[in-house]
Structure formats: structure tokens, C-alpha cells
Chains A and B, each alone.
Chain A
Amino acid sequence: MSGARLAVSTQKYLAIARASARRAFAERAVLAGRVVFLGVILFIFSRIWETVLARGALTVSGAGKAELIWYLAVTEWCVLSVPPVFLAIESDVRSGDIACRLVRPVSYVGAQLAEALGETALRLLVLGPTGAAIAFALAGGWPADPWGLLLAAPLGALASALAVLSTAAIGLSAFWIVDTSPIYWIWQKLAFVLGGLLLPLELYPDWLRALARFSPFPAMLWGPGRMAFGFAPGAALETLLELLAWSALVAAGLAWLANRARLRLTVNGG
């Protein structure tokens, strides 16, 4: 593909992403619901951390109540910013709307990813500051070393993008199975447990932590979240490389699935 062609193509997908962000902004009730949910989760866990830490039942080196609340704020920010792209793809396949989209001079999966990433960007921008404000209020201030949060921001954005790629791949399974929700459910629960959504991996037993590190989930949640414990460029670089490697792997898998799905459509009907 020539440079000019690549630029034109990129602009198309950026235009789709922008339109998707505008649509997400128009659906303000959904956004508000996510903000409220984030506030409720952070409030509940701030009380839990307070009780647990007061009893001395839990220790994470270098982390007090404030750091744990900020950790949760970062991991929930990553999770809540990801729109349900798998449902959008499933709905297209089930309803036959995919035919409408395939007559356009853009890749179907590319357009779906652009839409999801546009919405993700808007959610990151809305949930980031609001989540930070809630965490600040509940934790009574910044974490002890707040500069790590500067590293959490780009890592969290990249982690959300990896989640979009992964859930798009789950959505493509609709070409084989009618309902993708069970696969998503399993993926989501694995992400929450192995990724360390609520508890940092430092609190996990060694064997479980070792097992988790074979999956992409720690890079998606624990990696950005642990930046709340302090400014750690080495750890940030490690998470960045893991995110890039997993993104490349999942993108390759997605491309393979997309090709298989196209064949499936033409063999088994629209």
C-alpha cells in the first residue's frame, strides 16, 4: 500500500472513530451510568480497604488505603472504558445488518474496531477525570507518589485498546455460534481474576500470580494499576512491551478469524 493510500485509508477509519465518539457523547445516559457505577465501586472498596487495613489483615508493600483506592480507580477506568463491541458484531451477524456494511469500501472488522476505539477514547476522557476526582475524594488525596499516574494514563489507554481487540475477536465467534455472551462472560471473569481488577497481583499466591503472567490480563489491568503505587519507569516499560506484544498477537488472531468468518458467511449464507 502506498503512503498516500495509507493516509486516505487511515483518515477513513479516523472519521468513523470520530463519528462513533460523537454518538457515544449523544448517549449521555450511558456515560452517566458508567460514572455512577465507578463511583459506587470505589466507594464500596474504599470502605473495605479501610476496615481491612485497620485490622492489619492485609499488607501490600508501599501501598496504603489511598494507593489501593487509586489502583482500583485505574483498573476500573480501563474496564469501564471498553464498549461491548462483541455485541455490536453479534447483532450485525444475527440481524443480517452485516450485508449493509459489507457494500462499503472499508473493512468490516476495521470499521467495527474504529467505532469501538472512538467510543473507548471518549469514555477514557470522561471516566479518567471523573474517576480521578472520585478517587481523590475517597482516598483523601493523591497517592504517596502521584507521578506514577502519569504513566498509568497511556498504559490504561493501550490496555483498553487491547481489550477492544480481544472482545472484537469474541464478537466474530458469532459466525460459528449464535450467542457470544458465554465466551465473553468467561473472558471477562478471567480478566477480572487473572488481571487483578480488585486486588493487586502482589496479594495473590505465588502459583496463581505465576499462572496469571502467562495471560494478557495482568498487562491489561495490574500493569497500569500498579503505577498508582509509585513512579516506576522500568515496570511501565515492561507493561508497555507486554501490551504491544499481546496486541500484535490478538490482532493477528483477529485477522485470521475475520478471514474465516468471511468464508463462513459465503458458505453458510447471510
Chain B
Amino acid sequence: MPPAIELENLRKVFRVRGRAHGISGSVRALFAPTTREVVAVDDVSFAIEPGERVAFVGPNGAGKSTTLKVLSGILQPSAGRVRVLALEPGRERTKLAFRIGAVFGQRSQLWSHLPAADTFDLLARIYELAPADYRQRRAELVASFEIAEVIEKPVRQLSLGERMRCELVASLLHRPEILFLDEPTIGLDVVAKATIRDLLRERGRRDGCTLLLTSHDTGDMEGVCERVLVIHRGRLLLDRPIEALRKSFIPMKRISVVTEEAEVHVGLPGVRRLPSRPHRTELEVDLALIGVDRVVAAIVAGARVLDLSVEDPPMEEIVTAIYRGAAPVEGRK
């Protein structure tokens, strides 16, 4: 089976009009406008297999949205080869549109003055769904996303979390083989984010749908995806499974221990005490120097432990380190 998404040396260049200074500059620009080229995506290559759930992360202006727009046929590539479901998106946009879905967290595809159910009916027409098939699919998704109570209310009266669940149902009605998600949890509270992530992961598994998700929230990446692509300044910095990313870029573990004693002292090389509170000690362990098991054994030997947890540093820190150009752990050794 061919990859769901295949990019080879994708390059996208935009022409941007130069800014003129002063009134005379503005008048000159009117008759002789100057333009400069901005490379939004530069020599990016990757392939995504059917059913994979992939996070596409990067800071603002990294080229994520441009790549997504090229993949969905909205923008034409300046150079390189792009295949989505074996189609050329720029030339076969309408054909491709029947097989992909898209959710843009900051934009709505629902008609705000009408109930979401009306938009669903309209989308069924647009995607040419057979009435019986549409009714069955809609019932299944409405139950799965628990939106039966809200789909008859005008969309403008819904909470952001309810609206986002309706947006997802709207984009899944036609059983897309690929779902592009651009910041699907932006602005949501913690509970709503967790719900959306669970639903996306579950739906991806159940439908076998390929997910490509862009987000600034590393929780989305961890909660939904199994692989991550990191892009920065238009170039692909990293492509690996989430777990491997953790292992490669996590030289440290954090141990949090609650004891009857006010403080715990572990005099071992590679163990650093972080700012702590009485009875609750935070330690950072350098895995290159010592194993977590030895540190835990030392803690238990020296104090009466009430609670203990071992954690990785937040994914946010890992991704930031990648943007800054940190080499993976194995690379540093």
C-alpha cells in the first residue's frame, strides 16, 4: 500500500511586496513595486503511512500551516513532489477533497447562526453522501462525541469545547482517509482538551484514519500521536516516534518524593536537588551518570517514604531544546 502522504524535497516560496518608507517611498512603490522572496518550506521530505497519527510541530512561522495547505491542495508547491492518497493535491484538489477532512482550531466550518445539525445536513450534500449512509454515520459520530444535546442549538450559543466536538464531527462525516488538524485544542480548558485528545485517538484507531496534527501544545502531540515531525524555519529538524523522542532527548528524570522526614539527602553523583518544600523533595537525575533504580534505593534506605514518583521533563522543554539545536542524547555521547 502506498504511503498516505508523501513529500519529496518540498519547497514553497512566497513573493512578498517590499515595504516602502515615507511618502515618497510609498509613491515610488505604487509605480515600481519591489518584491522579495520568502522561503516558507525548504527541502522537506517525509512519508506517512495509512493510519499513522503524526504530530507536526514547530514555532510560529516554521512552515507547518504552509505544508498543510500544500498537502490539502490549497497551495501549489514551488518545487518538489507531493502525493496525498496517490493524488497530486494542487492539480486534483476537488478529487482529493472528497477523501480528506480538515479542522482549523481558530476557524469554524459551522454556520454560527444555525444549529450544527443544519451544517451536517449541508456537508452531506456537499460530500455527496447517500442519505441512509449519512444518517447512520451521523448517529454514530453524535453518540461517540456526545453531542446529541447540542446539535439543535445555534452554534453561536455553544461553548468552545462543544463547538470543537461539533467541528470534528463535521469533518469526519464523509469518512476522510486523512484528517488534517490545525491547533484543534486551542483555547480549550484542560478537561475539554483531554476529551478532544481521547476522541481523536479513539476515532483514528476506529476509522483507520491518518491524522496529521499541528499544535503548539505538546499535550496534543503526546495525547494523540505516535510520531512527531519537528519543523523549524522551513526545514525538517526531526522525524521519529514520540517514545524515541523522549528517550533520545531526555537525559534527565525527575524524582518527587514525600517523606516523614522534612528533608532527604542523597549524596550520589549525577543527582541534583531542585527547589523543594519541607517533606517533599524534588531531585533531578542525570541518566548518563546514574540509574533511577540506584537513586530510589538510596532514598528508601535513608528515609521513610510516603509517596514517590518518577517523571520525564515536560515535553515542552524537550521540543524547545530541539528548536535550539540540541543534539539527541545518543549524539552527545
Known A19-B111, A100-B109, A103-B102; judge A11-B97 contact (CB<8 A).
Answer: no
B100 CB within 8 Å of chain A: yes
Known A12-B126, A99-B69; judge A270-B75 contact (CB<8 A).
Answer: yes
CB of B63, distance to nearest CB on chain A (Å): 11
Known A19-B122, A26-B113; judge A268-B75 contact (CB<8 A).
Answer: no
**Within the assembled complex, what's the spacing in Å between the Cα atoms of A268 and B17?**
9
Give the contacts of A252-270 with B (CB-CB under 8 A).
265-270
The reply to whether A12 and B125 contact each other, CB–CB distance below 8 Å, is yes
Q: Given the complex, which residues of B lie within 8 Å of A99, measured CB to CB?
A: 69, 74, 104, 107
Task: List the 3 shortest-distance A-B pairs measured between CB atoms, nearest first.
Answer: A15-B125, A105-B97, A269-B14
B72 CB within 8 Å of chain A: yes
The reply to whether B125 and A269 contact each other, CB–CB distance below 8 Å, is no
CB of B279, distance to nearest CB on chain A (Å): 52
CB of B36, distance to nearest CB on chain A (Å): 12
B243 CB within 8 Å of chain A: no
**B-facing mask of A91-104, CB < 8 A → 1, else 0?**
00001110111111
A47 CB within 8 Å of chain B: no
B251 CB within 8 Å of chain A: no
The reply to whether A270 and B126 contact each other, CB–CB distance below 8 Å, is no
**Within the assembled complex, what's the spacing in Å between the Cα atoms of A172 and B184?**
29
A27 CB within 8 Å of chain B: yes
A157 CB within 8 Å of chain B: no
The reply to whether A11 and B107 contact each other, CB–CB distance below 8 Å, is no
Known A105-B98, A270-B69; judge A26-B154 contact (CB<8 A).
Answer: yes
By beta carbon, the residue of chain B nearest A9 is B128
Q: Given the complex, which residues of B lie within 8 Å of A8, measured CB to CB?
A: 128
The reply to whether B126 and A15 contact each other, CB–CB distance below 8 Å, is yes
Q: Which of A23, A97, A103 contacts B111 (CB 8 A)?
A: A23
The reply to whether B40 and A269 contact each other, CB–CB distance below 8 Å, is yes
**Within the assembled complex, what's the spacing in Å between the Cα atoms of A12 and B75?**
24
Interface residue ranges, A against B (CB under 8 Å): 8, 11-12, 15-16, 19, 22-23, 26-27, 95-97, 99-106, 265-270
**Within the assembled complex, what's the spacing in Å between the Cα atoms of A268 and B76?**
11
Q: Given the complex, which residues of B lie within 8 Å of A100, measured CB to CB?
A: 102, 104, 107-109
**Within the assembled complex, what's the spacing in Å between the Cα atoms of A74 and B73?**
45
Known A12-B126, A267-B14; judge A102-B114 contact (CB<8 A).
Answer: no
What secondary structure prevails in chain A residues at the interface with B? helix
**A-facing mask of B113-125, CB < 8 A → 1, else 0?**
1100011011001
Q: Given the complex, which residues of A lie within 8 Å of B75, measured CB to CB?
A: 265-266, 269-270
Q: Given the complex, which residues of B lie within 8 Å of A26, measured CB to CB?
A: 113-114, 154
By beta carbon, the residue of chain A nearest B100 is A103
**Within the assembled complex, what's the spacing in Å between the Cα atoms of A90 and B301?**
70
21 contacts across the A-B interface (CB closer than 8 A): A8-B128, A15-B125, A16-B126, A19-B121, A26-B114, A95-B107, A99-B74, A99-B104, A99-B107, A100-B108, A102-B93, A103-B100, A104-B126, A105-B95, A105-B127, A105-B128, A266-B76, A266-B90, A267-B15, A268-B16, A270-B66
Sample of 7 further A-B pairs with CB below 8 A, known A15-B125, A97-B107: A12-B125, A12-B128, A99-B104, A103-B100, A266-B76, A269-B75, A270-B75
By beta carbon, the residue of chain A nearest B114 is A23
B94 CB within 8 Å of chain A: yes
The reply to whether A105 and B104 contact each other, CB–CB distance below 8 Å, is no
Q: Given the complex, which residues of B lie within 8 Å of A97, measured CB to CB?
A: 107
Q: Given the complex, which residues of A lie within 8 Å of B95, measured CB to CB?
A: 105
Q: Given the complex, which residues of A lie within 8 Å of B119, measured CB to CB?
A: 19
**Within the assembled complex, what's the spacing in Å between the Cα atoms of A269 and B17?**
11
The reply to whether B125 and A22 contact each other, CB–CB distance below 8 Å, is no
Known A96-B107, A270-B69; judge A103-B74 contact (CB<8 A).
Answer: yes
CB of A46, distance to nearest CB on chain B (Å): 35
**Within the assembled complex, what's the spacing in Å between the Cα atoms of A16 and B97?**
17
CB of B167, distance to nearest CB on chain A (Å): 10
Residue with the highest number of chain A CB atoms closer than 10 Å, among B90, B100, B118: B118
Q: Which of B74, B122, B127 contacts A265 (CB 8 A)?
A: B74
**Within the assembled complex, what's the spacing in Å between the Cα atoms of A268 and B69?**
13
Q: Given the complex, which residues of A lie within 8 Å of B15, measured CB to CB?
A: 267-268
The reply to whether B126 and A19 contact each other, CB–CB distance below 8 Å, is no
**Within the assembled complex, what's the spacing in Å between the Cα atoms of A263 and B127?**
25
Q: Given the complex, which residues of B lie within 8 Å of A23, measured CB to CB?
A: 111, 113-114
Q: Which of A95, A105, A267, A268 contacts B126 (CB 8 A)?
A: A105
Known A23-B113, A268-B15; judge A104-B125 contact (CB<8 A).
Answer: no
